[in-house]
Chain A
Amino acid sequence: MEVLILLSPLIAFLLIALFGARIGDMASALLCVLGGAFSFLFSLWATSRALSEPFSVKLYDFLPLDAYNLSLGLFFDPLSSVTASVVTFVATVIFIYSIGYMHNLFGQWTFKFYAYLSLFLFAMLLIVLSDNLLGIFFGWEGVGLASYLLIGYFHTQKKASNASLEAFVLNRVGDWFFLFGIVASFYLFGSLSILDIFARVSQVDKALLGLACLLLFGGAVGKSGQLPLHTWLPNAMAGPTPVSALLHAATMVAAGVYMVARLYPMFESAPESLRVVALVGGLTALFAALAATSHTDIKKIIAFSTMSQLGLMFLALGLGDRMSAMFHLTTHAFFKALLFLSAGSVIHAFHHHVHYIYETGRLKRYMPITYASFLVGALALAGIFPFSGFWSKDLIVATAYEKSFLWGVLVSVVSFMTAYYIFREGFVMFHGKEHFRHEQKEEPHESPSVMVVPMLVLSVMAVVAGFFEGWYGGILGVHKELHVDIAVLSVVVGLAGILVAYLVYVKGLIDPQKAYEALKPLHTTLKEQFFTERFYHKVLAGGYLFYSKVIYMTAERQLIDGVVNFTYPAVKGVGGVFRLLQAGRLNLYAFFMAFGFLMLLFITIFWR
């Protein structure tokens, strides 16, 4: 029965993939939604069971590894089943939204899009529910593929196809580590089953365990767009917005966090690895927040925000607080999806021709519901009471201050910037001047209800999800007190960020353009993500390609193949020299023969 959670998106995928062209795009979309919805229902059911008693489902024997039989299966405990429910819920909502968003493309094989979405959901659920590392890896790569296909959905655009390539390759770098993490764990534990691993985690060598954890974390870094494998995530925004919302904000990128949380006992037993996790998370949070402050792309700002929030989650994990990380993941799924959907709504209103915040403006007049949704999302993201972000982020802030003042300051700074940049985007888009006037003739209008309803649903979730903190902590077996001082602090920090944005972008206290001009080096540095993207593209990728070509032209063609091909002229040349002996004149023949005989005689006599 529980298998149906997985099967329903899979069946939807297969049906759409095989018959999509025949049944049409609308039917495909409905199938996809249906698959998601069923999956959601089944996961709710499974959750209800899992909350009382964790259980696992064995699927089939997959692979014999010498003495060990690797069998695939599903594992339902509170963590996985709740996450599955959240994932399927958000996914279903976004699927519905996408019907409206993609409607103008119907008739152009849009069924592919729904096939990919279903595939994605299947793979994501595989990550969440698998009871062994290899199963996780299956889903891991599966979501990578779905993400690749979805980012490259508008593949005729160079931007999209490049972004998809980059996403897949960087993810593969992570997967490389992940795969070896799996391998290393196998030799540590003699098993790949999560339960076996948890059972034996205290008996193994700490150093090797740390190594395995780091390798596994490498996979998470790739998937979650953390430093240093981060550049693909902003570029992934080339995909359709529902994709950004679902994959690159709510679920897929969070898989890294989920995986670390899932394997938390391993990490806990190797504290050194947790330190690395915290460091990477913290750095990424700061880094992405900085980058977000100077970007103007509607979706990229939110994407950087995603990176930043994921960084915070990793920080929390690294600091030993699994519950708050996972809770933040959950609330983040709601409000970040909401933000993206709102952004998508804006883009949709401009017929997918607008990408930069300065091309919009003063949209609250035209799109009130979108404005409201965005506002809810932004407030949640900024961590303002009582939105869900407040509850989850507050836990992280508290943990950070508990561990060390420095971490706390870092988180606060990040929170401040988060509030600033998200409201900067909101104010520019929904307040301010109507920059779109000179380009767009018609006025933007509110999106159709098929898009609006999902936004509303998510808004509700973004508001109320935070109140489940206690319950969530309960099912994970952790209880955390709310620290009033910390809560006040973080709300103040958030409000301060909003205030700054308000002063600059609504009141016009400082002309932002002039400020950018004045701080140009800093601005550029931040916008270029400290030049990492350029470094990756030009130096690493470009260099790899360039040197590959150079080596191909030199070592391969000239040296190796050159030697091979040279054998023919060499043999022929030597033959041409020897050939001179056969000069055609009898006297010379006699001469050479006599000479040869002499040599033979010489050898005979003087050979000892």
Chain B
Amino acid sequence: MENLLSLAIFLPLVGALFVGIVRRENFSKVLSLGISSVVFFIMLYLFLNFNWSAQGFQYVKRIDWIPSLGISYHVGVDGMAISLLLMTSLVFVVAFLWSLKVEDRSNLYFALFLALETACLGVFSALDFFLFYLFWEGMLIPMYFIIGLWGHDRKVYAANKFFVYTFFGSVFLLLGLASIVVYGYLITGKLSFDYTFHMGFSYPMMLQMVAFLLFGLGFAVKIPMWPVHTWLPDAHVEAPTAGSVVLAAVLLKMGTFGFVRYSLPLFPDASKYFIPLIFFLSLVAIIYTAMMAIAQTHIKRLIAYSSISHMGVVTLGTFAMDLNALNGAIYMMIAHGLSSAALFMSAGFIYDRVHSYHMDDLGGLARYVPKLAVFFMLSGLAGIGFPGLAGFVAEFLVFLGTYKNFPIWAFIAGVGVVLSAAYFLYMYKRVIFEEETLSEYRLEKWRHLKDLELHHTLSFILIIASAFVMGLYPYPFVKIIEQTSRYVLGG
């Protein structure tokens, strides 16, 4: 069992090596899809076997790695991690499925994605600071090249901005890690990067605040929180579809995951102290970026801003210091992973067919690609928190939990419900519904647009079906997530 987890983490990396060695396009595609499916089924198996009533981490594997620095190979999952892992592995299956038609340097493409998968899975399952940071940074390079090599016009700018920005954040994180590890050494005389080792401490307030800010900056950049968010729209706009999917669905979650896994349990007092700050930033993120979203004419940029807005809800719920809110925040991570993946897939599909992301160039697509219109609608509904889809449960839990201690904040944050509907439907109207803006030439040309192909449909179905399952029967998911929330909140 515990080896299964490690197997799932490193299988993609091995696959990447194979892809790099064999260099056959079809082989790469089949292997990537196969490996990611295997990983998905492993994760599903682990998820189903997860015991939500047991305390602590499960499937734990610990091997001494660098004894002199107190670093060990230590992996394991709690409820949040296994949920995120399941979502991640699903998203990667979808990303590979979606990319089956990639022709440009596809070997490298698949190798990079496989490496990225290892990094992403690793981040969520690492129980050692060093290992965590290894995976955390390890995701930078593949993503950099994915954006830089397969992106659109301003790919270099976007890739560099992505890299420098996130690197900037993560060095702060590194310093934060170093600080608490050294503190642990100073008071116990034992140098250890082990997460569980550090869980037992209560740090002095000063250290907590400093470390919280350092960690927080690292996470905030990745989430991204306002005002360090501007890399995200650019990265999304330029990234290839599968890249955007992974970026939105998985990479953004690393930041919020970090808040829940590290900031809250390690620095409880500082977390309480900084609640106003975080809440303010979250509210700005929710409202301000919703405004930014509606101001866009570029669909991917709009979706990117909507992601930031939703991550604002996650941070709000994370720091509401309430079980339900935290459940909701974690639930939102997964729900948003699904919905944003589907949204980016829709946008990418539109680009594939019509070669434009601009609303001014689009319209009336419902008539030409009706299946897409349906899936686009469903993904959008999942995103704006429509009941019956995963997003609603998350939003409801967050608002419910936040309202308990911070009714005004929660109520103001609730305006996001309205604004998100406004920007999504505004976009939907202009892209899918309205036809009056279209020129005759376009209409003529679009008459023969090809609707979703099989692999597209399959990808969408995987994502949307999951969103439905999570929206209609959240009980087991919330129970599993609650396993994390309880220990994080110290209950």
Contact = CB atoms under 8 A, between A and B. Distances in A.
Contacts of B227: 560
Query: Interface size class for chain B?
Result: 35 or more
B294 A545 contact: yes
Contact of A551 (B165, B291, B400, B473): B291
A525 interface: no
Interface stretch (B25-33, B190-198, B336-344, B362-370): B362-370
Contacts of B422: 165, 169, 172, 544
Most chain B beta carbons < 10 A, residue from A157, A180, A547: A180
B426 to A, nearest CB: 6
Contact of A560 (B230, B366, B482): B230
A180 B410 contact: yes
A156 B295 contact: no
Interface stretch (A57-65, A294-302, A411-419): A57-65
A168 B387 CA distance: 14
Contacts of B433: 152, 155-156, 161, 164
A66 B324 contact: yes
A183 interface: yes
Contacts of A66: 323-324
B425 A148 contact: yes
B161 interface: yes
B38 interface: no
B387 A65 contact: no
Q: Is the interface of A mostly helix, strand, loop or mixed?
A: helix
B137 interface: no
Interface string A56-94: 000011111110000000000000000000000000000
Contacts of A109: 370
A535 B58 CA distance: 58
B291 A552 contact: yes
A158 B294 contact: no
Contact of B294 (A148, A157, A187, A544): A544
A551 B388 contact: no
A547 B291 contact: yes
Q: Is the interface of B mostly helix, strand, loop or mixed?
A: helix
A205 to B, nearest CB: 14
Interface stretch (A134-142, A238-246, A363-371): A134-142
B60 interface: no
B292 A548 contact: yes
A549 B295 contact: yes
A556 B429 contact: no
Interface in A548-563: 548-549, 551-552, 556, 560-561
A161 B436 CA distance: 11
Interface in A536-587: 544-545, 547-549, 551-552, 556, 560-561, 564
B418 A169 contact: yes
B429 A162 contact: yes
Nearest to A174: B418
A548 B294 contact: yes
Interface in B377-406: 381, 386-388, 392-393, 396-397, 399-400, 403-404
B370 A156 contact: no
Given A172-B421, A180-B414, A187 B403 contact: yes
Interface in B269-325: 288, 291-292, 294-296, 323-324
A560 B432 CA distance: 32
B393 A63 contact: yes
A124 interface: no
B184 interface: no
A473 B304 CA distance: 55
19 contacts: A63-B475, A64-B475, A134-B396, A142-B387, A156-B434, A158-B434, A165-B422, A165-B425, A169-B418, A169-B421, A169-B422, A172-B418, A172-B421, A179-B417, A180-B414, A183-B399, A544-B422, A548-B292, A552-B292
**Which 7 pairs between the two chains have the least Cβ-Cβ distance?**
A155-B433, A552-B295, A548-B295, A548-B291, A156-B435, A161-B433, A138-B387
Given A169-B418, A564-B161, 18 more contacts: A64-B478, A134-B396, A137-B387, A138-B388, A142-B388, A155-B429, A155-B433, A165-B429, A183-B400, A544-B294, A544-B422, A545-B294, A548-B295, A551-B292, A552-B291, A552-B296, A560-B227, A560-B230
